[in-house]
C-alpha cells in the first residue's frame, strides 16, 4: 500500500484490509508517519508522533483493527505519555493512568500513534497557542482550523490519520468539523464515560468523541466508545442495537425544525443560510415534515450563561499548579486565560449559584422550544473559518469580556446550547463555499437518540457525497 491508497480509505475501510491480511497495522502506522512527516510541517497539527508508534498496543479484532489514531492533548490520558493541555502550566506532565476512553480506543483496535494540538486548557474556538504555535487549516492555511480540537481536525482533514480524538464543551468537536470539512459528532451526555478522573467535565457540558470523515466511522466509533462505569454521574438508556446497524435501517418520517435566521446578534452568512435551506428541501423530498423555527433562547440568557460558566473552569487551577510545583502567572498561562483566572478568584461564592441558574433556565427554554421536533437542522457555524488574526489569546485587539462575547456567544450560537442540554448533535461537511471553504450543517437529535442522528446523517451523506473532497494541503 502506498500513501495515496492509504489516504483514500476511511478508518472502517482500513480495518477491513487489516482483518483480511491485505495490510498490517505496522504498515498503516508507517504510512501515517510518512503522511505526518510530509504534511505536518505545513499545518502544525501533531505535536508528537510517538517514536515507538509501531509497537503501541491495540486489538487486532476490534472494528478499527490496526488503524492509526491521534489523541487530542486534553481530556483523555495515556499512562506515561505527555499530557500538556496546550499549556505551559502542564508542560512535561505525564499521568499515571489510562482514561476509560483510551482503554476503549485500544479495545476497538485503534493504535494511538501521537498527540494533536489543542487550545490552552481547551478554552475558546481558535487554533493558536503560545506553547505550540498556530495550527493551520488544510483548506486555507491563513484560516483557523477551529478549536479546541484543532490539531485533530487539521490532521484528519489533511489525511495524516482517518480518525482522531476530540472533545466538545462549547463546540470543540463541531467547530473544527465545520471549518475543516469533517464529521463531528457530539454524543448525548453520559453516552461516553469521562472516568476515572473526569467523570463530570465542565459540570456535565463536555463530552469526548472523535473527528472522522464518514458517517459509518462515526457510528462504529459510537459502538466502540459508548458505555458507563461505576461512579459515572449520568445514566442514559442503552441503545437498542449497535449504531452501525442503524446505517441499514430506513427509519421513519420525522418532524424537523430548521434554523434559517441568526440566534444572536451576529448575522448568519447568507451563503450558509442558503445551504441550510437546500438541505431542508432535500429532507422534505425524503418525506420528512420540515418547518422553520426561531431562536430557542434569549440572546441575553445565552450570553450570560456562557460568560458566567466560563469562570468556573478556572477555580481548580491553583490545585493543579500546586500538584505540578508551579505557579499560575504569566509564565504558565496566556494573557486571556490568566486574566479570566484572576477575575475568577475575586468572584463571590454566589457566582456559582448564579451561573447554574442561568444554565438551568437556558436548558429549560431550549427544551420547551424544541420538544415537538424529532430533529433540528441548523448551521454549525454562522460563518466559514476565520483568519488567524481575527482574535487572539494575547488580547491584542480586545478585552477578555469582548473576546468571550465574540467567540462563544456569537460564533457558537447554534452549538453551545445543545452541549448544555446534553442532546446528541453532528456537524456534517455537506458543502464548500464559493471561496473554497467547508460549510458544516448541524443536525440535533432528542436526548439519548443518537440512532436517529446517525440515520439522517447517512441519508444526507448519500444526498451530498463528500468522501472524495480533498483540501489543497493533503497527504498524497
Q: Residue 101 has which C-alpha cell?
A: 476512553
Which entry of 76, 172, 206, 419 is annotated as an active-site residue?
172
Cβ–Cβ < 8 Å for 167, 75? yes
Helix spans in 44-146 (H): 100-107
Q: Rounded to whole angstroms, what are the CA distances from 443 to 6, 40, 377?
A: 30, 31, 5
β-sheet bridge partners, residue 133? 129
Q: Do you find a cis peptide bond into 251, omega within 30 degrees of 0?
A: no
Distance CA 287, CA 277 (A): 16
Distance CA 169, CA 207 (A): 6
Which entry of 25, 148, 313, 419 is annotated as an active-site residue?
148
**Nearest-CA neighbor of 27 among 8, 3, 44, 49?**
3
Grid cell 508507517 in the structure block, residue: 30
Q: Rounded to whole angstroms, what are the CA distances from 386 to 181, 253, 390, 426?
A: 14, 37, 6, 21
76 is catalytic: no
281 is catalytic: no
Cβ–Cβ < 8 Å for 251, 449? no
Sign of the alpha-carbon dihedral angle for 451, 456, 461, 462: positive
CA 410 to chain centre: 18
Buried b (16+ CB within 10 A) or exposed e, 308-338: bbbbbbbeebeebbeeeebebeeebbbebbb
**Nearest-CA neighbor of 164 among 134, 209, 129?**
209
361 is catalytic: no
Cα atoms found within 13 Å of the Cα of residue 48, Cβ hemisphere only:
17
First to last CA, the chain: 12
- Reduced to 3 states (helix: H, G, I; strand: E, B; else coil), residue 345 is helix
**Nearest-CA neighbor of 212 among 240, 241, 180?**
180
Helix spans in 172-268 (H): 174-180, 215-225
Q: Which residues are known to be catalytic?
A: 72, 148, 172
Amino acid at each position: 500500500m502506498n500513501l495515496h491508497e492509504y489516504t483514500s480509505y476511511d478508518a472502517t475501510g482500513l480495518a477491513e484490509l487489516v482483518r483480511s491480511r491485505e495490510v498490517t497495522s505496522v504498515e498503516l502506522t508507517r504510512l501515517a508517519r510518512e503522511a505526518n512527516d510530509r504534511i505536518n510541517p505545513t499545518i502544525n497539527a501533531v505535536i508528537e508522533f510517538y517514536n515507538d508508534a509501531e509497537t503501541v498496543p491495540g486489538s487486532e479484532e476490534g472494528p478499527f483493527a490496526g488503524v492509526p489514531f491521534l489523541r487530542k492533548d486534553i481530556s483523555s490520558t495515556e499512562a506515561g505519555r505527555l499530557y500538556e493541555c496546550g499549556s505551559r502550566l502542564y508542560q512535561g506532565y505525564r499521568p499515571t493512568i489510562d482514561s476509560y476512553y483510551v482503554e476503549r480506543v485500544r479495545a476497538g483496535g485503534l493504535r494511538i500513534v501521537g498527540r494533536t494540538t489543542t487550545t490552552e486548557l481547551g478554552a475558546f474556538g481558535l487554533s493558536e497557542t503560545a506553547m505550540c504555535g498556530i495550527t493551520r487549516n488544510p483548506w486555507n492555511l491563513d484560516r483557523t482550523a477551529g478549536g479546541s480540537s484543532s490539531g485533530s481536525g487539521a490532521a484528519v482533514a489533511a489525511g495524516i490519520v482517518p480518525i482522531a480524538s476530540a472533545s466538545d464543551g462549547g463546540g470543540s468537536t463541531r467547530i473544527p468539523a465545520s471549518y475543516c470539512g469533517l464529521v463531528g459528532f457530539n454524543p448525548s451526555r453520559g453516552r461516553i464515560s469521562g472516568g476515572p478522573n473526569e467523570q463530570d467535565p465542565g459540570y456535565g457540558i463536555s463530552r469526548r468523541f472523535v473527528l472522522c470523515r464518514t458517517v459509518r466511522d462515526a457510528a462504529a466509533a459510537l459502538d466502540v466508545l459508548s458505555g458507563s462505569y461505576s461512579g459515572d454521574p449520568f445514566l442514559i438508556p442503552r441503545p437498542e442495537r449497535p449504531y452501525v446497524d442503524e446505517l441499514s435501517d430506513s427509519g421513519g418520517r420525522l418532524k424537523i425544525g430548521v434554523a434559517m435566521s441568526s440566534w444572536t446578534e451576529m448575522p448568519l452568512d447568507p451563503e450558509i443560510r442558503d445551504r441550510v435551506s437546500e438541505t431542508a428541501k432535500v429532507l422534505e423530498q425524503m418525506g420528512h415534515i420540515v418547518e422553520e423555527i426561531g431562536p430557542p433562547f434569549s440572546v441575553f440568557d445565552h450570553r450570560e450563561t456562557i460568560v458566567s460558566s466560563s469562570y468556573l473552569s478556572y477555580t481548580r487551577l491553583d490545585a493543579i499548579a500546586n500538584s505540578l510545583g508551579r505557579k499560575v502567572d504569566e509564565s504558565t498561562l496566556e494573557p486571556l486565560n490568566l486574566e479570566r483566572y484572576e477575575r475568577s478568584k475575586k468572584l463571590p461564592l454566589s457566582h456559582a449559584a448564579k451561573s447554574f441558574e442561568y444554565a438551568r433556565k437556558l436548558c429549560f427554554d431550549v427544551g420547551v422550544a424544541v420538544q415537538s421536533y424529532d430533529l433540528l437542522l441548523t448551521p454549525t457555524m454562522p460563518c466559514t473559518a476565520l483568519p488567524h488574526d481575527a482574535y487572539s489569546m494575547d488580547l491584542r485587539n480586545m478585552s477578555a469580556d469582548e473576546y468571550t462575547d465574540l467567540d462563544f456567544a456569537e460564533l457558537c450560537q447554534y452549538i453551545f446550547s445543545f452541549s448544555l442540554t446534553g442532546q446528541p448533535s453532528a456537524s456534517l461537511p455537506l458543502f464548500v463555499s464559493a471561496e473554497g471553504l467547508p460549510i458544516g450543517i448541524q443536525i440535533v437529535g432528542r436526548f439519548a437518540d443518537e440512532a436517529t442522528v446517525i440515520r439522517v446523517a447517512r441519508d444526507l451523506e448519500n444526498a451530498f457525497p463528500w468522501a472524495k473532497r480533498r483540501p489543497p494541503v493533503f497527504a498524497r
